Amino acid sequence: MLRLSPLLFLFASLLFGSGCGPSSPPDADDTTPDPSPTLTDKYTTVRLDADVSGLSDDQKEMVRLFIEAGQAMDGIFWEQAYGNRDSLLQAIGDPQRRRFAQINYGPWDRLNDNAPFVDGVGPKPPGANFYPASMTKAEFEDAAQTDDALDDLYTMVRRLPDGSLTGVPYNQFFITAMETAASKLREASALTDNEGLRRYLELRAEALTTDDYRPSDRAWMDVTDNDLDLVIGPIETYEDQLFGYKAAAEAFVLRKDRAWSQRLSRYATLLPMLQEGLPVPEQYKQESPGRDSDLGAYDVLYVAGDANAGPKTIAINLPNDEVVQQEKGSRRLQLKNAMRAKFDEILLPISDLLIAEEQRPHVTFDAFFGNTMFHEVAHGLGIKNTITGNGTVREALTDHYTTMEEGKADVLGLYMVRALADEGELDVELMDNYTSFLASIFRSVRFGSASAHGRANLIRFNYFRERGAFSRNADTETYAVNPDSMVQAMNALSRDILTLQGDGDYEAVADFVQTYSPMPKELQADLDRLQEAGIPIDITYEQGRSVLTGLDPATATR
């Protein structure tokens, strides 16, 4: 990786660093009326008031330190997603728009295909602020042939004074924030008596200042028997919609739900069996998933950065490093309080409007939880390296990788529910899972085509509709599952996605996405009815130390 000398880095930072953004700040007197009733009505606020009174004093202090480390990630992500946060927020005169910019980490609506909602900012660059706004794809690809730092996960791409491109390592570009977060993790590591957590925190602190994350990813795989957990660093690549190369900063502060986790733990041992049963030829399932995979349920205490931008995640599947996944598997963390909030506030109201009345009792939290859990399991199945010599699936599919991977996880999750039920390993009412799955498509497709999850759900809706997995009653304007056709469509889509990923044929994948991603007029009309009914699209958090229940007064200040 390219390392700039201190003098050159200082010059590059002054010329292209923290003050730059993909577009100019909006006009300071922007008060253009909002055409929608209320922008922020797209979200319903959920208070993250989890009870932490049962934690020890040291654990409560660790929560404080974790949150402060997460706040450092928040600042980094603002720079990656937009540019200078303060200049943007100060220039927006309307309080509602300002709040909406905070939710979206920029002036683009993540639930409306990144459409700008503030005058003067222009469209969002596909590469966000990871790359110079003036850079072309061809220019980058040409330069990357001789400079490996450009397509590294952990570099910001900037121009040097001569106009050429260079990759500035995160640990240098964000040196102050990374060192701040690292120091908080080191402080926290001294407070825990859990050796696995201590080792992870120490290695993660080192990673934040060196950009070498693999040792801490390996260590995190062993952090399974403690009440607190922390996911922190540059992790997911969804924000980079130009290439899918750049990892965005985020943080999750979590508390383990031991009772629910015990219910889930045994499914991790079934991964090899599930891999063998995938509905594709042997070459597309030749890799063995790690046997050390962990399933657990957690409550969210705090989120920051990419994890807090726009729609909120309800489950985590990490690490993303294919080497670590094959060595040790992955950990799948179900975020129970976030999941329950989305089910109660969004999924049930959607079902009351769009699911056939006789099938509404089949929309259950247990089925929603199970489908989400096996979605995360499914990320570890299939193969990570193409069978055609095109490198990893991620490298071969670039900007389409996240859409295909989320689509794979969705449909394979449902496939595995049925497979485990057939094997007697899972006691469920399959119609609950099928109907909750259908209702969840309507929930997630509202994220819009700018979201990998939204695109994946739109593709699946069109694919399933084509194969009769569900029907729509024109009189009642509701949808009903056709179980037999649902199973056939599920198997077919599983096979298609796994094959496309394994072949690593970018053009074939692009054709597939283009064929199945258009928004049908009828579906759009039904989604409009959800908006007219006032059903929020997603949740946003009221969070912070003062919100948590049971923290000592000395630590319960923002």
- The region that residue 401 occupies, defined by phi over 0 for left and psi between -120 and 50 for alpha, beta otherwise, is alpha
**Residue 385: which H helix or E strand, with range?**
none
Tokens encoding 475 = 């009189």
What's the mean pLDDT in 133-158?
96
- How many domains does the chain fold into? 1
pLDDT at res. 25: 54
What's the mean pLDDT in 154-165?
97
Cβ pair 238, 345 in contact under 8 A? no
Cα–Cα distance list, 539 to 297, 331, 345, 347, 443 (Å): 19, 24, 8, 12, 12
What's the mean pLDDT in 97-106?
97
Neighbours of 539 (CB within 10 A): 17
271 band by pLDDT with thresholds 50, 70 and 90: confident
Please state the pTM of the whole predicted model. 0.80
- Checking if the pLDDT of 279 tops 80, the result is yes
Rounded to whole angstroms, the Cα distance separating 154 from 11 reads 20
- Checking if the pLDDT of 1 tops 50, the result is no
Task: Tell me if 74 is assigned to some domain.
Answer: no
Task: Tell me if 305 is assigned to some domain.
Answer: no
- Checking if the pLDDT of 14 tops 50, the result is no
Domain that holds residue 358: 262-286+337-542
Name the DSSP class of 167.
E
374 band by pLDDT with thresholds 50, 70 and 90: confident
* Pairing status of strand 470-473 against strand 43-47: unpaired
Longest dimension (CA), the chain: 70
Cα–Cα distance list, 101 to 104, 105, 291, 343, 505 (Å): 5, 6, 42, 25, 37
Find tokens 């062993």 and name the residue.
222
pLDDT at res. 558: 39
pLDDT at res. 30: 42
Task: Tell me if 241 is assigned to some domain.
Answer: no
Burial level of 365, CB count in 10 A (0-12/13-18/19+)? middle
Work out the percent of the chain whose per-residue pLDDT is above 90: 75
pLDDT tens for each residue of 534-550: 999 999 999 999 999 99
Rounded to whole angstroms, the Cα distance separating 498 from 496 reads 6
More confidently predicted of 168 and 263: 168
Rounded to whole angstroms, the Cα distance separating 130 from 77 reads 10
Task: Tell me if 176 is assigned to some domain.
Answer: no
Task: Tell me if 409 is assigned to some domain.
Answer: yes
pLDDT tens for each residue of 78-93: 999 999 999 999 999 9
pLDDT tens for each residue of 284-329: 988 876 555 678 899 999 999 999 999 999 889 899 998 998 888 8
Distance between start and end Cα atoms, the chain: 38
- Which of 63-67, 272-276, 436-440 shows the lowest per-residue confidence on average (mean pLDDT)? 272-276
Half-sphere exposure of 236 (CA within 13 A, CB side): 25
Closest CA to 41 of 100, 118, 116, 98: 100
Cβ pair 378, 407 in contact under 8 A? no
Work out the percent of the chain whose per-residue pLDDT is above 70: 91
Tokens encoding 480 = 């009903």
453 band by pLDDT with thresholds 50, 70 and 90: confident
Name the DSSP class of 505.
-
pLDDT tens for each residue of 498-547: 999 999 999 999 999 999 999 999 999 999 999 999 999 999 999 999 99
Task: Tell me if 43 is assigned to some domain.
Answer: no
